Structure formats: C-alpha cells, structure tokens
Amino acid sequence: MAIIKISRYNPESKKVSVDSYEIDVTEDITILDVLLKIKEELDGSLTFEYGCKSGLDGSDGINVNKRPVLASQTNVMKVMNDYKSDEILIGPLSNFPVVKDLIVDKSSLWNSYASIKPYLIEKKLKKNEKQNEITKDIIHKISKINDCNMCGLCNSSCDVLKVDNEFIGPAILAMSYKQILDPRDGELKTRIKSSVNNGLWKCSQFMSCNDVCPRDIDPSFAISDMRIIDVKNKFSSHGPKYINSAAKEFRNKGRISNFANNKSSIKNSQQIPIIYDSVEEGENLKKKKLPCYYKDHEDYAEGYFKWKRNINLRKRENLWNQANLKKVLK
C-alpha cells in the first residue's frame, strides 16, 4: 500500500490543493501506472501528460519526492524503499510554469529549441574545397546527444534556471553542442556566440542535470566542451575573465564566493567547479568553505553531498582536460 500525494492546480479557479490516494502496489508497478489507475478509476480530472511507457518520448516528466523523474521509468516500490516511506509526493516539474495539475508549460523549452536552429546550415565551400568528413567518433558523439528525448528533467533540476530565467538551460545547450559537432556546419561562431548569449557561462557545473538525466546525455560535458571551444577561438571574453577572477579570489582568500543565493553572485562565480578541479587541495575546502547552494538547512546537506559526489564524478570522467585548463589559467 502506497500513499500517493499529488499536488493539484486548477487553472480556472486558481485553486491549489493536495489530493491523497491509497493505492495497492505490486513489484513491477510504476508511477505512471499509479497515475493512470487514479485517472481511470478514481478521479478522471487528474491531468498529466504521458506517451510511451518505455520512456523514449520524454513526455511524462514529473517531480517524485521533489526529484524530477520520468513517471514511466520510476518504480513505486523502489521509491518507497529509497525514501523509507509509504508516502510519495508527486508534483509538476520545477522551473516550468504549471498549467494544470501535473502539466507544465514547456513552450519555453520548445521555443528555445527552435531558436538555436537545430538543423545543419552547410558551410559555404570555396573552390576545390571539400566538405569535411564525418568520422565515426563524431557520429558516436552526436548519437549520444541524439539519445536526448527533450523530457526537460535537466532544466527542472537546474539550480541556475531557478534564479535566472534568462539562462536557456542544459537541454538546449546540449542540443546546440550537437549542431556544433557536425563538421559540415558552417555556423560555429554564430552558434557559440548565441550559446554565450543564452548563458553558456552561467552554468555553475553542479551537474544536477547529469544526475537526473534518464538517458545519460551528460549536458554538463556538452557545456564544458563548448566553453573550451569558446576560449580556444576567443569568440567571447567571458571565459578567461571568469576563470581568472575566480582563480584570483581562490589564491587570495583560499575560498570562493558562495553560489546561488542571488542573481549577481551567480554571475560572478560561475567557474568555481573548474577551479576546484584545477586545485589539488580540493579536500581542504571540504570542511571549512562549502559552497552554499541552498537557503534551507536540510537542503544544504544534500547540496554538500551532491557537490562532493560531483567532484568525484568529474575526476573520474576527466571532463576538463587539465592541460587545457592550465593554458587558460596562465
């Protein structure tokens, strides 16, 4: 037996409420099954989006216990075990305006997808110039991002989007990266520049997008790589500026300003995780000077573990090429 608490929103009466349902669950049942059961048998007015049950189409993103997931890919028993509670909170995705019950308005996501021109704009070839060949390596890289199903979970989890709605979000940045990878494309400069305008350097590399991604897209890698391209080609002045200022602060004060408490602090300290990586004594930071991600105490701890995990994750995957970084820091 699971107690499903669903946050409801009625757009016509503007009423917000939480409805509670007791549902018998079996081993293989998913959150989507539960929602469908409620809609079909108990309350037809419960509104949510769903498509295929295999999680391929990404329409069924919701928050389960405040964590963005795909309803069809989330096992109820597992959630109950993980959180050691029969109670499951279900709500709409964060960082999107709520339209009705669990449906959010994803038009911002679709519009920004259209705005990055997600199609090949072929390079104008000079005489005797040959079109660049696509290597297998590139096909695999592109194919990895093609796995993205635009579910928007990464945007929902993004801490920068929470405070800065001019930031375009990890999903779309990853999609821009895909276009940049294509060697036949002639718009590298425009694409990087528009990415910079869309907030390429605003990302704080918390990698919560990677954590929630159901398809292992790794948007934060896409962002890092685009930053390297930006710095290498000197398309914008953001890169060196941010890295230098953060590095300077670190050298002088032995610490770096806090994150995410307000807009301006975000803008000033976006490159901190890179600095953490570049400084070996990241361990020393751990106790004294934690980055303060969240206002709430409980979330603070969660933020800390996330941060620690991410440091490890980054080390393992070697997302930032150390050599490149040293060059930049000089």
Partner 1 sequence: MKKKAVNDNYDALIIGAGISGLYAAIKLHDNLTTKRNKANIAIITKVHPLRSNSIIDSNGINAVLNPKDNLKFFQYDTIKAGDFLSDQDKVDELTKASKNIVEDLEKMGLIFYKNKENKIDQRPYGGKAFLTQKDYSGATFPRICYTSDHTGKDILYFLYGAALRRNIEIKELFVADLITNESQCVGVTTYDIKTGDIKSLHSYATILATGGIGAMYKNTTNSQINTADGIMMAHRAGADLMDVEFVSFHPTTLINSNLEIDAGFRGEGAVLLNRRNERFMSKYSKKRMDEASDIIIARAIQNEIDHKRGIDEENYVYLDLSTMQTKLVNNLVKKIVPENQKLKVHPSQDLFLGGIKTDINGRTSLKGLYAVGECACSGVHGAYYLEGNGILEALFASQKASENILDFIRDTDNIKAMPDENDENKFRNYFNSFMENNQGTSWGKIKNQLKNIMTGNVGIFKDKKDLEKALKEIRSLKSNFNKIGIKDKSKVFNTELIEVLQLKNMLDLADLMIVSSIVRDESRGSHFRKEHSERRDIKFLKHLVIHPDKKLELKDISLGNIRPEKMRY
State which residue, 140 or 295, has the beta carbon closest to partner 1.
Answer: 140
Instruction: Decide if residue 30 touches partner 1 (CB under 8 A).
Output: yes
State which residue, 119 or 305, has the beta carbon closest to partner 1.
Answer: 119
CA–CA separation, 162 vs 104, rounded Å? 15
Alpha helices by DSSP H, the chain: 31-37, 76-82, 107-115, 136-146, 153-157, 159-163, 170-181, 188-197, 208-212, 219-233, 238-253, 263-268, 272-278, 282-288, 297-317, 322-329
State which residue, 171 or 196, has the beta carbon closest to partner 1.
Answer: 171
Binding mask 107-146 for partner 1 (x = CB under 8 A): ---x---x--xxxx-x----------xx-x--x--xx--x
Instruction: Decide if residue 317 touches partner 1 (CB under 8 A).
Output: no
Q: Where are the beta strands (DSSP E) in the chain?
A: 2-10, 15-23, 61-64, 67-70, 87-91, 98-100, 103-104
State which residue, 57 or 249, has the beta carbon closest to partner 1.
Answer: 57
Which of 63, 73, 94, 95 lies at the binding interface for partner 1 (CB under 8 A)?
73
One DSSP character per residue, 22-37 reads EE---TT-BHHHHHHH
Q: Which two tokens stand for residue 201?
A: 């350097």
- Contact stretch for partner 1 (CB under 8 A) within 16-24, 50-58, 224-232, 309-317: 50-58
Binding mask 176-205 for partner 1 (x = CB under 8 A): ------x-x---------------------
Which of 3, 5, 47, 258 lies at the binding interface for partner 1 (CB under 8 A)?
47
Which of 5, 100, 238, 267 lies at the binding interface for partner 1 (CB under 8 A)?
100
Residue 126, strand partner residues: none
Strands 2-10 and 87-91: parallel
State which residue, 18 or 114, has the beta carbon closest to partner 1.
Answer: 114
CB 226 within 8 A of CB 217: no
Closest CA to 198 of 221, 215, 216, 177: 177
Binding mask 208-247 for partner 1 (x = CB under 8 A): -------xx-------------------------------
Instruction: Give just the sign of the alpha carbon dihedral 52, 31, 96, 18.
Output: positive
How many residues lie near partner 1 (CB under 8 A)? 53
CB burial class (10 A; 0-12, 13-18, 19+) of residue 194? middle
Site of interaction with partner 1 (CB under 8 A): 10-12, 28-30, 33, 39-41, 43-45, 47-59, 72-73, 99-100, 103, 106, 110, 114, 117-120, 122, 133-134, 136, 139, 142-143, 146-147, 149-150, 182, 184, 215-216
